[in-house]
Structure 1
Amino acid sequence: MPDPVKSHILEQTRKLHRERSDAIGEFIPGTTPILPSGAVLDEEDRAALVEQALDLRIASGAAALRFERLFAKALKVRKAHLTNSGSSANLLALASLTVPELGDRRLRRGDEVITVATSFPTTVNPILQHGLVPVFVDVDLGTYNTTVERIEKALTPKTRAIMMAHTMGNPFPVAEIAELAQEHGLFLIEDNCDAVWSEYRGKFTGTFGDFSTVSFYPAHHLTMGEGGCVLTNSLELARITESMRDWGRDCWCEPGEDNRCLKRFEYELGDLPYGYDHKYIFSHVGYNLKTTDLQAALGLSQLTKLGDFVAARRRNWQRLREGLDGIPALLLPEATPDSNPSWFGFVITLTEQAGFGRRELVDFLQSRAIGTRLLFAGNLTRQPAYRDEAYRVSGELTNSDIIAERTFWVGVFPGLTTEMIDYIISSIREFTESHR
């Protein structure tokens, strides 16, 4: 029977959201901030959070399990495991490939993992954190992804895996790279954090590799505030991932469950005495990277809007692409052939003949309350954090250097209106025309 007090609180919560939304006011060019990214939250999202709080569901439980099932179904993979961030998801995916039960396939210290230099740090950091050697390759301007040819040239007898992101929602040629990985016995981890529901050859990104990862930080396609996810079609890898995420324990009981295996006190593993409680037997050197039901409840509400969010991102990107077309000073982004990106942002690279620098244009946009971001780390090998780290570079990083010096991006997320997109276009056109 419905709780009348709870129902009243939720009704008032939705009313509060509507009142605050109505108070935001109309868009004022040059005054209203145009953010490069951000969460789009409605009254149902607010109510979902409040309902979980009222029920005091504060740990990982039923809501997290339900989200994992529905999210795996939405992305057409077999298993999804929630984590406390997208960065943790990358860490967990890589760590899960280092465990002893994978035998000769496991990643070991000194093994090489091919990745791209133009990246977000936490796509690469787990490689270093596990004593592996990142091998950096360059990317193409326009798509901002690497090619099969560059990866092939980077291969050595030490190469054991490929781990990289679909840049800004634009798929790398993942079918061909997955085929190359299979041919050479390599693991493939797709960092899909910026690319939920992007498609390559009619298939979702994040479904080609051994693992894929997703982030639910507010900048991304769906948000839980913080949070992430590891996805796989391999039941073997899913079991390892669950253990590694949940302290490294051997037990696979769900939260609040006991004795799913029906022999909780009948195990004899390692050097432990017979009958040691299975809930306290640890088969991996793991972590606690779980999320909470409070976050998962927000994720469940957000998931119902995924289709609309992706459509808005594509619509905003296309409007920017058409509105900025033909400006000589700008190299505009292009979708990877055979792909249908679920865009994260709109990337712009200044041409060598632009006649002005990135800082000048970015400062001008900032003066008009138009937010921008750089393409993450630009070239990771130039970042101070990696100065003393062991890595290898295959080929030249010419385009990665150009990106570090001349590239930035503006937003396409669903919170941006047509008026805002048009103001970005007119502002960039005004600046470039004044600097011809």
Structure 2
Amino acid sequence: MDNLENMLSGMRKEILEKVGEYFILSQEKGVVVPKPYVKYVWRVWDQNEIKAAISSVLEQKITYGNIAKEFENEFSRFLDTRYTIYVNSGSSANLIAVSSLKSRMFGDTIKSDDERYQIIRDGDEVITPAATFPTTSNVLLINNLLPVFVDIELGTYNMNPKDIESAITDKTRLIMLPHTLGNPNDMDPILEIAKKNKIFLIEDACDSLGSEYKGKKLGTFGDMGSFSFYLSHHISTGEGGAVVTKNSELKRVLDSMRDWGRDCWCEPYKSNTCGKRFEWQLGDLPFGYDHKYTYSNIGFNLKPLDLQAAIGLEQIKKLPNIIIKKRRENFKKLYEGLKNFEEFLILPKSIEGADPCWFSVPLTVRDEKVFSRNDIVNYLAENEIETRPFFAGNIIKQPGYKGAKYRIHHRLENTDKAMFGTFFIGCHPGLNDEMINYVLDKFKNYFNKL
């Protein structure tokens, strides 16, 4: 047996060494990063992420298990929060976060800090911006809630706390708060508004990993925070996401929602943790019905893979000194260069106390009579510089929202301005000084011809 173990260990070591060599050679050949020349996003992987994924497969650790639990612990440690619930996407994170607030697992109330709030019911109102990504607001409609769409401010691209407060009615039960492109909201007044009105707060921090407000990381202020680990985000596990919370009750519900709605809380590959697996009586089931197959929530199967978590563990190691540091440096270089063109563009801005780790650099055309967003993004595309529009623009203008039930709070003037005039360029760690200077030169050339 010892000889076999030594043989397998040697083969595994050799395979991983070859994987590392392959990655390095593929980089030199240039097959990893395709055109366009300056992408708006790119993952920050090296041979360690590839080797971690292959190692997981060799050890046959594929589905959600111990590696995923380790990732959850490390992610919680990075954010300085209590619990992380790892899921298969940021969209799934938003889905179970909102769905958990309708759960009756703990009766008609759920703990929020030191108080208990009424659970959310069908028809309750949720305040959220209209300039958004679809799965921030889609989860509200899926849960039979009424989105109350609020305008944004140009520059920060977040909601003004005064607009949030004025949108509240006696039906308001939740604020769904995206930190747009990694830019922190004004959390002090928003937290005060939520607490005063006994309203739940979910931070959509999918674009905001590493961003801080007054020294505290985004996603950890509200009842829950959601994150995405898709290819384009600060760390990438290919696909993936997470919900974080300090609340043990919500943690229990979130685990259940992710795992088919199970009442059982056993860890992966464990059974009978409670010591009375066949001694429960819940709902209208007969006494003794298997607790592992008892479902107290209308849940889903949204588990990620251990393989993805293995990649995520390597990504977390890169967060402080590579990913966050480089994003901030690249944003600053682009921002300083683009200041020369403020006559034509509204540049991004942050509030006092905010320390963003920007997802990208948002830019808004000041006067569409001079040039349009389509004019400049087509010019940039011709010069191999990738851009993206401002998410879904005004979400209620999307074809999927025809016939949807929602309420508009006042006018969505800036939302429409962003829909027509806002785009963003990348500031990811894959950009080097040559690429940044190239981007700034192309902007300069464009504006010099106007």
TM-score by length of 1: 0.97
Aligned mate of 1:94, from 91, 98, 104: 98
1:395 corresponding residue in structure 2: 410
Summarize the Cα distance change of 1:47–1:162 in structure 2 as closer, same or farther, 3 Å threshold.
same
Distance in 2, matches of 1:196 and 1:381, equals 27
Aligned mate of 1:214, from 219, 227, 232: 227
Distance in 2, matches of 1:288 and 1:353, equals 46
The answer (yes or no) to whether the contact 1:175–1:208 under 8 Å persists in 2 is no
Distance in 1, matches of 2:442 and 2:434, equals 12
Identity across the alignment (%) = 43
2:108 corresponding residue in structure 1: 103
Aligned mate of 2:423, from 386, 408, 411: 408
Distance in 1, matches of 2:441 and 2:103, equals 54
**Over aligned residue pairs, what C-alpha RMSD do you find?**
1.6
The answer (yes or no) to whether the contact 1:329–1:354 under 8 Å persists in 2 is no
2:381 corresponding residue in structure 1: 366
1:40 corresponding residue in structure 2: 44
Amino acid in the other structure paired with 2:191: A
2:71 counterpart of 1:71 = no
Once the two structures are superposed, residues 73-125 of structure 1 have per-residue CA deviations (whole angstroms, 9 ceiling, x without a partner) of 11111000111110000001000000123515111111000000110000000
Aligned mate of 2:16, from 10, 15, 18: 10
Once the two structures are superposed, residues 192-233 of structure 1 have per-residue CA deviations (whole angstroms, 9 ceiling, x without a partner) of 000001001111111110010000101001111001101101
Amino acid in the other structure paired with 2:236: T
Q: SS at the partner of 1:257?
A: coil
Distance in 1, matches of 2:411 and 2:364, equals 19
Distance in 1, matches of 2:241 and 2:189, equals 26
1:175 shift after superposition: 2.7
Amino acid in the other structure paired with 1:288: N
Aligned mate of 2:158, from 145, 150, 161: 145
Equivalent residues in 2 for 1:274-353, closer than 5 Å:
274-307=287-320, 308-327=322-341, 328-352=343-367
Equivalent residues in 2 for 1:179-194, closer than 5 Å:
179-194=192-207
Distance in 1, matches of 2:238 and 2:340, equals 38
Distance in 1, matches of 2:125 and 2:368, equals 38
The answer (yes or no) to whether the contact 1:330–1:354 under 8 Å persists in 2 is no
1:134 shift after superposition: 0.2
Aligned mate of 1:174, from 181, 187, 209: 187
Distance in 2, matches of 1:259 and 1:354, equals 68
Aligned mate of 1:205, from 203, 210, 218: 218
1:234 corresponding residue in structure 2: 247
Aligned mate of 1:259, from 272, 275, 295: 272
Distance in 2, matches of 1:176 and 1:21, equals 48
2:114 corresponding residue in structure 1: none
Q: SS at the partner of 1:349?
A: strand
Distance in 1, matches of 2:411 and 2:39, equals 34
Q: SS at the partner of 2:340?
A: coil
Q: SS at the partner of 1:189?
A: strand
Aligned mate of 2:397, from 373, 382, 386: 382
Once the two structures are superposed, residues 34-75 of structure 1 have per-residue CA deviations (whole angstroms, 9 ceiling, x without a partner) of 110121210000100110111111210010000001101111
The answer (yes or no) to whether the contact 2:36–2:386 under 8 Å persists in 1 is no
1:354 shift after superposition: 6.3
Distance in 1, matches of 2:209 and 2:186, equals 16
Number of aligned positions between the proteins: 433
1:336 shift after superposition: 2.4
The answer (yes or no) to whether the contact 1:329–1:353 under 8 Å persists in 2 is no
1:275 shift after superposition: 1.8
Distance in 1, matches of 2:448 and 2:368, equals 14
Amino acid in the other structure paired with 1:57: K
Q: SS at the partner of 2:330?
A: helix
Distance in 1, matches of 2:411 and 2:256, equals 40
Q: Unmatched 5+ residue regions in structure 2? A: 110-117
Amino acid in the other structure paired with 2:67: A
The answer (yes or no) to whether the contact 2:368–2:421 under 8 Å persists in 1 is no
Amino acid in the other structure paired with 1:52: S
2:112 corresponding residue in structure 1: none
Amino acid in the other structure paired with 1:342: C
Amino acid in the other structure paired with 2:420: E
1:59 corresponding residue in structure 2: 63
1:121 corresponding residue in structure 2: 134
Once the two structures are superposed, residues 257-315 of structure 1 have per-residue CA deviations (whole angstroms, 9 ceiling, x without a partner) of 11111111211222222222111111111111110101111111111101110111111
Distance in 1, matches of 2:212 and 2:239, equals 25
2:175 corresponding residue in structure 1: 162
1:326 shift after superposition: 3.0
Amino acid in the other structure paired with 2:64: S
Distance in 2, matches of 1:245 and 1:49, equals 23
Q: SS at the partner of 2:257?
A: helix
Q: SS at the partner of 1:136?
A: strand
Q: SS at the partner of 1:304?
A: helix
1:176 shift after superposition: 1.9
Q: Unmatched 5+ residue regions in structure 1? A: none
Distance in 2, matches of 1:171 and 1:366, equals 29
2:442 corresponding residue in structure 1: 427
Q: Runs of 4+ in structure 1 displaced over 3 angstroms? A: none
Distance in 1, matches of 2:407 and 2:352, equals 29
Q: SS at the partner of 1:248?
A: coil
Amino acid in the other structure paired with 1:215: S
Aligned mate of 1:131, from 127, 132, 144: 144
Amino acid in the other structure paired with 1:320: L
Distance in 2, matches of 1:44 and 1:241, equals 31
